[in-house]
Chain A
Amino acid sequence: MNLRSMSAALVLVIPLAVSPAQAQTSLTSNDLVSSLQGIEAAPAGISAALLRKQALDGIRDPTRANPINREPLSAQLGQLAQFTVVINFDFNSARIRPESYRTVGLIADSLYHPYLQGYRFLVVGHTDSVGSREANLKLSQQRADAIRDALIDPFGISPARIEAVGLGEEQLLDRANPKAAENRRVQLINIGR
């Protein structure tokens, strides 16, 4: 059995909001595989259900009312092998826009790679802070579900391999600028075997 080093969790951030002009320079799925390679042992207790609960608790926590005070919900999440993409949806909707179909296909291609066969993955959706926190939480969950649905059909990934969770504005990328576009992102995280 190969034990992997836990220290090198690569976080690769790729703004893959694809416009026709940019499409030709996009990465291949195999470029992403190395940033998704995981470790043998499953990390303790990471699951969509747990994160959902943490997000709900976070919304009720008065110390987190101001975005600047919102510490990440899960310190563990940042340490796992992952990458971040941008997927565009219709306004206030979980419908994936056709210009982002390629990005979802890219995720599927990487999950087919032999190096990633034994692992399970979490799709995590995030919003900015525009609008209500509850609405953002709900929308981000619907969007994460939409991505998971597409990975299963038409892209054929086994449902047992992917979980989906929306974290709304509870885990902002830029807490000082909660309305900024960078906060609107999707993470794909390796949650172990």
Chain B
Amino acid sequence: MTKLIKDGAFAQDDFALLADDAPLPEDGGALVSLARFQKERDSLLARNAPIGVKLQASESPELLGVDVNRLSLIALEFPRFRDGRAFSWARMLRTRLGYQGEVRAVGDFLYDQINYQHRVGFDAWSVPDDFTIEQFHRALQEMTDVYQPSADGRKTIRDLRALR
């Protein structure tokens, strides 16, 4: 089982992950695959409830087209922790596509990747049940400074040098 960390704390998961052939619930958030979203776009967007799409590592958020900003949740999958494509997808969502909704990390990722995920624009994590909130905060604090600008808008070491 997994649980959800959002905005720095454990949170209720308001989305039900639906298989491609599962019936749509009457209400409540629904998380569907890109294939299902593309097939049932109109009925999904017409629902009076939040909708999310779960993208595989090989699926660019650009495949969502202009619909991207009508989604409340985009879950980016790490099929194996070595597969780092979702780092670029998250950054694309936040910068190129201006997406403001939830970007959730799901799948096989490591404690040691959470800080990088946070930097590129993830704000939610589906973590194992034994994962603690202290671990989460420690992961974000191991490195104080950063050299690169990214989607988190943090001041870089170059910015800090200029402020001295």
Partners in one complex: no
